[in-house]
Copies of this chain bind each other. A is one copy, B any other.
Amino acid sequence: MGGERLYLYDTTLRDGQQTQGVAFSTAEKLRIAQALDALGVDYIEGGWPGANPTDSAFFEEVGATRATLTAFGMTKRAGRSAENDDVLAAVLDARTPAVCLVGKTHLFQVTEALGITGEENLEAIRASVAHVVAQGREALFDAEHFFDGYAGDAGYAVACLEAALAAGARWVVLCDTNGGTMPGQIGAVVADLIARGLPGDRLGIHTHNDTEQAVAGSLAAVEAGVRQVQGTLNGLGERCGNANLTSLIPTLLLKPPFAGRFDIGVTEAALEGLTRVSRMLDEILNRVPLRQAPYVGSSAFAHKAGLHASAILKNPATYEHVDPALVGNRRVIPMSNQAGQSNLRRRLAEMGLEVPRDAPALGRILERIKAREAEGYTYDTAQASFELLAREELGCLQEFFEVERYRVTIERRRDAQGRRVTLSEAVVVVRIDGEQTLSVSESLDAAGCDQGPVNALSKALAKDLGRYQSVIDDMRLVDFKVRITQGGTEAVTRVIIDSQDGMGRRWQTVGVSANIVDASFEALLDAVRWKLIRDCGAGPAA
């Protein structure tokens, strides 16, 4: 991809780690760095060596990368030379090709927080940057609180940038540290800096999302002339997060007026891996991926409105601003009471059920979905339960077995040592080919800990399905979500279960009941039925 060079600087491993609840292990940092390198960012800021043991370990272990590895630190403290500042020395000890030092540019903070004069601060910037350059490293200067500093005393704030540049900094980065500056203001300040003679190709932008405008602020700075953008994957970062590279990268590559204007080092093939990289980070963080995330969220190309969904079928550009395949994502047309017959036929076709237009079963399926949704069911994500319902109406649902009854007992008491213990036990009675089988299971895991009634039921149900047993042996329950759907006395519980099998297939089922255990059982049962249809054949075709 041609055009003017625009550099991406990733700080997921440093500023991203300031996210509340996030603490990467060294191994996790290495895995993220590898993904960033494959994505094609220009700089990977790995942490603050000396301030954090995992950061030091990361730099020791990371090895060679295509991207420029960067250590973060701060300008030398007053009252000592750069050479004798132990904090700075620890940063340089990481031996990274680039070093980024944060320093103050807001005169108020210099005199009040640091208690030094403006000139002393300028000298600290000069000496620190010069020291990094003298060590043969690329130096970057993060101008903390730059936009507040500029608003307070533009002359001084600009002098700080000039001091860093004169001392040899490859980049000075304009940081909106508190995240409160509007994109329009950012653009105007950058334009003023360039008018004052500062070189745009040595200016960077670092924004935070405190007004939900970190991406817009970064793009405003790029439009005004900066040529480095700092951000994080999935917008991780302190408070509301940093500028989200996962949104910025596709926008810079795909959207006018940016598309085609810049070379940002991310190839088309790497862009197709973006959704995967975003999900990998969530997996490392053990977070549920944000469905609404731009470009990479599972809902980012989900078309729920009936009018939209039918137009999309004719021409995707009617309701999609970019092709989801370009970022490795995919289109979703969910079922809902607003969806029409055309969505339904398409959904069924995706499941291998070709149904003629105007087949009477289509209307019946929509009616049943509507009625079930009024009871608290949802089929947006529970595709497997939806398929079972549709197959039933289409007359192509084979029932492999019947559950005659089940019973679950949950007990809490004190054991012989006086400790509180809980135990769940489930009995499931099933009829297969006219034969009745009774199965019983406890809920204890390998360590002897109670995993609860749903676990016990799941094990009992999957324990003996006769000739079908081998088909379900590789199934396991991987996620379980519970929601109370109505308030007051009409409260019902909706359970959604994710199952997975040895082939890596993953499917979702739903159950609804006032009784949470019964709702769970219904979803479990659907999961088993769906698996049997997939692997034992579905009976007559539609």
Contacts of A244 in B (CB 8 A): 212
Contact among B52, B238, B380 for A308, CB-based, below 8 A: B238
Complex: chain B residue closest to A425, CB-CB? B409
* Shortest Cβ gap from A384 to chain B (Å): 16
The answer to whether A211 has its CB under 8 Å from any CB of chain B is yes
* Shortest Cβ gap from A184 to chain B (Å): 6
A479–B488 Cα gap in the complex (Å)? 7
A258–B521 Cα gap in the complex (Å)? 54
A318–B209 Cα gap in the complex (Å)? 16
* Shortest Cβ gap from A77 to chain B (Å): 12
Chain copies in the assembled complex: 2
B482–A483 touching, CB < 8 Å: yes
B247–A212 touching, CB < 8 Å: yes
The answer to whether A111 has its CB under 8 Å from any CB of chain B is no
Contacts of A213 in B (CB 8 A): 213, 215-216, 219
- Mark out the residues of chain A between 434 and 490 whose CB falls within 8 Å of any chain B CB in the assembled complex: 443, 445, 449-455, 478-489
A113–B255 Cα gap in the complex (Å)? 24
A404–B410 touching, CB < 8 Å: no
B21–A449 touching, CB < 8 Å: no
A297–B178 touching, CB < 8 Å: no
Contacts of A294 in B (CB 8 A): 209-212, 240
Contact among B182, B185, B302, B412 for A406, CB-based, below 8 A: B412
B182–A336 touching, CB < 8 Å: no
Complex: chain B residue closest to A480, CB-CB? B484
A179–B308 Cα gap in the complex (Å)? 14
Binary flags per residue of A34-57, CB closer than 8 Å to B gives 1, else 0? 000000000000000001100000
With contact pairs A405-B411, A451-B515 given, residues A240 and B299 touching in the complex (Cβ less than 8 Å): yes
B411–A286 touching, CB < 8 Å: no
Binary flags per residue of A83-118, CB closer than 8 Å to B gives 1, else 0? 000000000000000000000000001001100000
A453–B304 touching, CB < 8 Å: no
The answer to whether A368 has its CB under 8 Å from any CB of chain B is no
The answer to whether A413 has its CB under 8 Å from any CB of chain B is yes
The answer to whether A20 has its CB under 8 Å from any CB of chain B is yes
* Shortest Cβ gap from A293 to chain B (Å): 7
The answer to whether A517 has its CB under 8 Å from any CB of chain B is yes
* Shortest Cβ gap from A531 to chain B (Å): 20
For A51, A219, A303, A412, which residue has the most chain B Cβ atoms within 10 angstroms?
Answer: A412
B515–A450 touching, CB < 8 Å: yes
B18–A305 touching, CB < 8 Å: yes
A412–B256 Cα gap in the complex (Å)? 59
The answer to whether A230 has its CB under 8 Å from any CB of chain B is no
Contacts of A303 in B (CB 8 A): 238-239
* Shortest Cβ gap from A335 to chain B (Å): 11
With contact pairs A293-B240, A314-B113 given, residues A409 and B412 touching in the complex (Cβ less than 8 Å): no
Complex: chain B residue closest to A176, CB-CB? B321
Contacts of A241 in B (CB 8 A): 292
Complex: chain B residue closest to A183, CB-CB? B216
A216–B184 Cα gap in the complex (Å)? 9
The answer to whether A153 has its CB under 8 Å from any CB of chain B is no
A239–B300 Cα gap in the complex (Å)? 4
Contacts of A74 in B (CB 8 A): 307
B311–A184 touching, CB < 8 Å: no
Contact among B256, B406, B486 for A286, CB-based, below 8 A: B486
The answer to whether A538 has its CB under 8 Å from any CB of chain B is no
With contact pairs A19-B299, A212-B244, A412-B521 given, residues A321 and B452 touching in the complex (Cβ less than 8 Å): no
A20–B251 touching, CB < 8 Å: no
The answer to whether A499 has its CB under 8 Å from any CB of chain B is no
Complex: chain B residue closest to A411, CB-CB? B407
- Mark out the residues of chain A between 277 and 307 whose CB falls within 8 Å of any chain B CB in the assembled complex: 286, 288, 290-295, 297-307
Contacts of A403 in B (CB 8 A): 412
Contacts of A216 in B (CB 8 A): 183, 212-213, 215-217
A470–B292 Cα gap in the complex (Å)? 46
Contacts of A414 in B (CB 8 A): 404-405
A332–B482 Cα gap in the complex (Å)? 28
Contact among B21, B209, B299 for A378, CB-based, below 8 A: B21
Contacts of A179 in B (CB 8 A): 321
A112–B211 touching, CB < 8 Å: no
With contact pairs A52-B338, A239-B303, A452-B514 given, residues A486 and B25 touching in the complex (Cβ less than 8 Å): yes
A23–B336 touching, CB < 8 Å: yes
The answer to whether A337 has its CB under 8 Å from any CB of chain B is yes
26 contacts between A and B (CB under 8 A): A20-B291, A20-B381, A25-B485, A52-B338, A113-B315, A179-B321, A182-B219, A184-B257, A185-B256, A185-B257, A210-B321, A211-B251, A212-B216, A238-B302, A238-B308, A240-B299, A286-B483, A403-B412, A404-B414, A407-B412, A450-B514, A452-B493, A452-B517, A453-B517, A478-B488, A516-B517
Given A113-B315, A405-B413, A408-B410, list of 7 further CB < 8 A pairs? A19-B304, A20-B381, A235-B292, A240-B294, A412-B521, A424-B517, A482-B516
